[in-house]
């Protein structure tokens, strides 16, 4: 079967750095997405990785290792507004998005 694992919840301090991991087992791979979702709102796009390595975009970076079936989202200089759920999703061989359950990130002052 297809499976995406990410921690259910993480807590971090304002101004710090946090890394949210995602491991996947899917039938084929055509890229991995990270989305941010605030409570009661729709997801918003953060990043897309299809090749191995680190993609940096401001305070957010995303890393991919296809051989390990592993990705992480790195958030630097955390702000209170970063409190949200972070969803990992993989595009499988049929170009269908397989969603993880999301990681709820709690930022404390």
Partner 1 sequence: GAVVSQHPSWVICKSGTSVKIECRSLDFQATTMFWYRQFPKKSLMLMATSNEGSKATYEQGVEKDKFLINHASLTLSTLTVTSAHPEDSSFYICSATLLAETYEQYFGPGTRLTVT
- Of 14-22, 37-45, 58-66, 74-82, the window that binds partner 1 (rule: CB under 8 A) is 37-45
Contacts of 24 (CB under 8 A, 6+ apart): 3, 4, 5, 32, 69, 70, 71, 88, 90, 98, 100
Q: How far is the CB of 54 from partner 1 (least distance, A)?
A: 19
**Does residue 81 sit in helix, strand or coil?**
helix
Under rule CB under 8 A, residue 69 binds partner 1 = no
- Member of 42, 51, 53, 57 binding partner 1 (CB under 8 A): 42
**Does residue 45 sit in helix, strand or coil?**
strand
Under rule CB under 8 A, residue 24 binds partner 1 = no
Under rule CB under 8 A, residue 91 binds partner 1 = yes
């Amino acid at each position: 079967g297809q499976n995406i694992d990410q921690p259910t919840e993480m807590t971090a301090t304002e101004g710090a750095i946090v890394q949210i991991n995602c491991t996947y087992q899917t039938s084929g791979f055509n890229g991995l997405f990270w989305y941010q979702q605030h409570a009661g709102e729709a997801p918003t796009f953060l990043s897309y990785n299809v090749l191995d390595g680190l993609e940096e975009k401001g305070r957010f970076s995303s890393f991919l290792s296809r051989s390990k079936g592993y990705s992480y989202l790195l958030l630097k200089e955390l702000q209170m507004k970063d409190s949200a759920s972070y969803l990992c999703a993989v595009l499988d061989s049929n170009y269908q998005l397989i969603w993880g359950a999301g990681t709820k990130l709690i930022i404390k002052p």
